[in-house]
Amino acid sequence: MVHVGEVGLNNAKDMEILQFGYLHERVVVTLGADFHALLMVNKLKSPSVVRLCLEGLKGEELAGVLEKIWKEVSDDLAQGAMVTVDRKTIRVHRLR
């Protein structure tokens, strides 16, 4: 896992982050809906984006949530997907 700040994208626009994810075969994890909207509007097939509708997670708790998500949707993420996660559900929309 790499934070945008670690790769010089602190002030990047959302499309730049999506491009980085595409070029480096990364999954984008976000708290906002903008990335899902950009995928749909631009008819992109990748990168996969996970939207966390969970605020206030810290360190180990966030790692645990991400580990659970990956176990359940790793095949979808590998194929290209928009995933939305809240406290009760994990929803997957395939991009292909």
Closest Cα to residue 81, out of 89, 91, 93, 69? 93
Q: What is the mean pLDDT of residues 30-38?
A: 94
Q: Which two tokens stand for residue 91?
A: 């929803």
pLDDT of residue 95: 94
User: What is the residue range of 70's domain?
Assistant: 4-94
Closest Cα to residue 82, out of 56, 24, 4, 41? 41
pLDDT of residue 1: 78
- How many percent of the chain have pLDDT more than 70? 100
**pLDDT band at residue 96, thresholds of 50, 70 and 90?**
confident
Number of domains the chain contains: 1
